[in-house]
């Protein structure tokens, strides 16, 4: 099967929406969503290990209605534009409630916890090719943020994001509200080089923020390239433009009248939480419709 162009696997809002800001003199190839990590591999950039998975507490179940589904296991045929073929949603994912694999220790006592820290050497190594000196934001202006979230398995977990330092506190406040409301998130981990090079499988569901990429087909940076955008539950809240749906297996979630956990709706806790810190929602756009995407820039 032919190799997919570099960067054609991961970035929906970062790669498919423009943002205001500096012009990229030589933009890289762009592809699917920031949040649509296609694999739950234990290795990240350049084979850098991700935090090891933690076992479930005694008595806790890691199984669910679709727990046998292996994310990232089945490569999709490629379209001429480098994305995967948009195929019908497999039955196990039509009401997706996969359990979360713990890469960081769950919050003690089940209470919401958060941290905000500069990008140290270990996090820089894990970011790999998602940041370079030519990016529009320097490492000193980015922050590594951890927040508690509720999984579709009903358990408390710890997620990680990289965001612009000037919005880090706002991002924490948003996820504190989502945690209190028990809004479910499947996965929240850093985007790495391994994700950028992965073949599309169309079943990723990673809530993520920073990746240094130009908007698709443009010379302007996306809001994700500044750490000023977040994609939330991409599979339950897909991107659509014409016949392209991202993630490519998420078409069942285009029916917004069929309410299922993780779906973002106008006026719900997710849109209200982001609106409270001045962020806008891609679900209000006419075309493309980017239901996963929130940004501080409006792009």
Start-to-end CA distance of the chain, whole Å, equals 34
Quick one: how far is CA 212 from the chain centroid?
A: 14
Cα angle 253, 206, 158; round to 5: 125
Let me know: does 184 contact 151? Beta carbons within 8 Å. Answer: yes
pTM of the model: 0.83
Burial class (CB in 10 A: 0-12, 13-18, 19+), 139: middle
The pLDDT tens digits along the chain (299 residues) read 333 333 333 343 333 433 333 333 333 333 345 544 343 334 333 344 455 554 444 333 333 444 689 999 999 999 998 899 999 999 999 999 999 999 999 999 999 999 999 999 999 999 999 999 999 999 999 999 999 999 999 999 999 999 999 999 999 999 999 999 999 999 999 999 999 999 999 999 999 999 997 655 556 788 999 999 999 999 999 999 999 999 999 999 999 999 999 999 999 999 999 999 999 999 999 989 999 999 999 98
């Amino acid at each position: 099967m032919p190799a997919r162009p570099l960067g054609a696997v991961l970035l929906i809002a970062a790669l498919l929406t423009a943002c205001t800001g500096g012009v990229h003199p030589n933009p890289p190839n762009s592809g699917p969503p920031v949040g649509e990590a296609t694999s739950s591999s234990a290795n990240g950039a350049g084979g850098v290990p991700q935090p090891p998975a933690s076992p479930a507490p005694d008595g806790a179940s890691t199984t669910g209605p679709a727990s046998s589904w292996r994310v990232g296991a089945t490569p999709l045929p490629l379209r001429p534009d480098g994305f995967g073929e948009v195929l019908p949603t497999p039955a196990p994912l039509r009401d997706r409630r996969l359990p979360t694999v713990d890469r960081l220790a769950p919050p003690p006592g089940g209470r919401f916890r958060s941290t905000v820290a500069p990008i140290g050497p270990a996090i820089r190594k894990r970011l790999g090719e998602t940041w370079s000196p030519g990016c529009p934001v320097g490492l000193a202006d980015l922050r590594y943020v951890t927040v508690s979230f509720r999984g579709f398995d009903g358990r408390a977990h710890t997620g990680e994001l990289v965001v612009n330092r000037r919005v880090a506190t706002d991002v924490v406040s948003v996820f504190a509200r989502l945690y209190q409301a028990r809004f479910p998130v499947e996965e929240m981990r850093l985007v790495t080089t391994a994700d950028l090079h992965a073949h599309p499988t169309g079943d990723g569901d990673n809530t993520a923020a920073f990746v240094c990429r130009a908007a698709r087909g443009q010379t302007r940076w996306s809001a994700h390239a500044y750490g000023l955008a977040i994609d939330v539950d991409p599979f339950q809240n897909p991107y659509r433009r014409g016949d392209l749906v991202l993630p490519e297996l998420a078409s069942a979630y285009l029916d917004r009248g069929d309410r299922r956990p993780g779906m973002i709706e106008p006026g719900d806790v997710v849109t209200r939480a982001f609106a409270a810190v001045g962020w806008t929602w891609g679900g209000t756009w006419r075309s493309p419709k980017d239901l996963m995407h929130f940004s501080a820039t409006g792009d």
